[in-house]
Structure formats: C-alpha cells, structure tokens
Amino acid sequence: MSDFGRGVQVRWAAPGLYRVQATAPGIQWSRPEPVSVVRGAANVFELDVPLVGRELRVLGADGAPLAKTDVAYWTDSEQRAFGRTDADGALVVVLLEGTLSLAPLPVTPTDNEAEQGRQTRRARGPTRVDPAVLAGLTARATAKFGPGAGPPELRLPPE
C-alpha cells in the first residue's frame, strides 16, 4: 500500500533479504543494498532514487522548436517513455541522471493524408505506444541529463 510517494507499507512479507526495485515509464532503478525484513519488528529503510525532473526543449534541424510532436526519451536503453512537446517544443521529463536520448515517434498518416501524399504529426497525443515501437527507436539527439539550470536543448539532425 503506498502513501503517495512518501513510503510503502507491506504487511505480510516473509523474513529475509529483499531486492528493492523502482520501475516507471522510462525508469528502472534498484537499491544497491538488499533490505532485511525481520519478523515482529518495524522494518524501516529509505530509498533515495536519483530522479531528476526537468523541462527539455526539442528543436528541429533548422533550430526552430519542434512543436506538438510525439517523442520517445530515455536515459536507460531498456526503459523508454514517451510524451508530446508543447507549442514551444518543450517537454517535462522525470528520469535518472545519465545520457538523455530522444527520438520522434513514427508518424502515421491518416487515410486522407496518405491519399494526398502528406504526413502530419498527430493532433492528439498517443494514449499508448507499442513497447516494440519504443524499443526499436534509435537516438536522434542526445545530451547529458542531470540537475541544472535552464532546460537542455536537443536538436534533431535533418532526416
């Protein structure tokens, strides 16, 4: 049972050593040391997951903000998340420190656009992205990611 980010309470864990792992979209982290659970005692331990929340600015090859575009981002190559940039090419992410990678999601033209030979970014953000699509993306832009002032800018190379 979680109390919204302040802790987790488990009532029926057998005594022993446990590995603690935190996972979320784009994040997989394991506590370096195992946790020991003792019968009949309060077993209190702290988790310090080194997450960083920051705004990013995503730019196209011409340096203009990449507005309202679906992108995948990650600092762990196995764990990827996705989101949509706003009208200014900004996106807020929460990730582990490391090398941030970013790639635009594939564009799917509507039937009408396909007939006209055009493709546009989706008007609404995706509600779900197939994990195979996320796993198959390669980084189009990278930057060092960690605490700091001002949003890091990631410029996508020409297609």
Is 125 found in the same domain as 62? yes
Domain count, the chain: 2
pTM of the full predicted structure? 0.70
Is 65 found in the same domain as 134? yes
Is 34 found in the same domain as 62? no
13 touches 31 (CB < 8 A): no
More confident residue, 148 or 127: 148
Average of per-residue pLDDT values in the chain: 81
Is 67 found in the same domain as 25? no
Cα distance between residue 29 and residue 98, in whole Å: 13
Is 55 found in the same domain as 37? no
Is 55 found in the same domain as 42? no
Range of the domain at 130: 51-155
Query: pLDDT digit string (tens) for 31-64?
Result: 888 988 888 877 777 777 788 999 999 999 999 9
What's the pLDDT score for residue 128?
Answer: 74
Query: pLDDT digit string (tens) for 67-97?
Result: 999 999 998 877 889 999 999 999 999 988 8
74 touches 99 (CB < 8 A): no
Is 6 found in the same domain as 58? no
Is 117 found in the same domain as 129? yes
What's the pLDDT score for residue 89?
Answer: 96
Could you tell me what percent of the chain has a pLDDT over 90? 36
Is 64 found in the same domain as 3? no
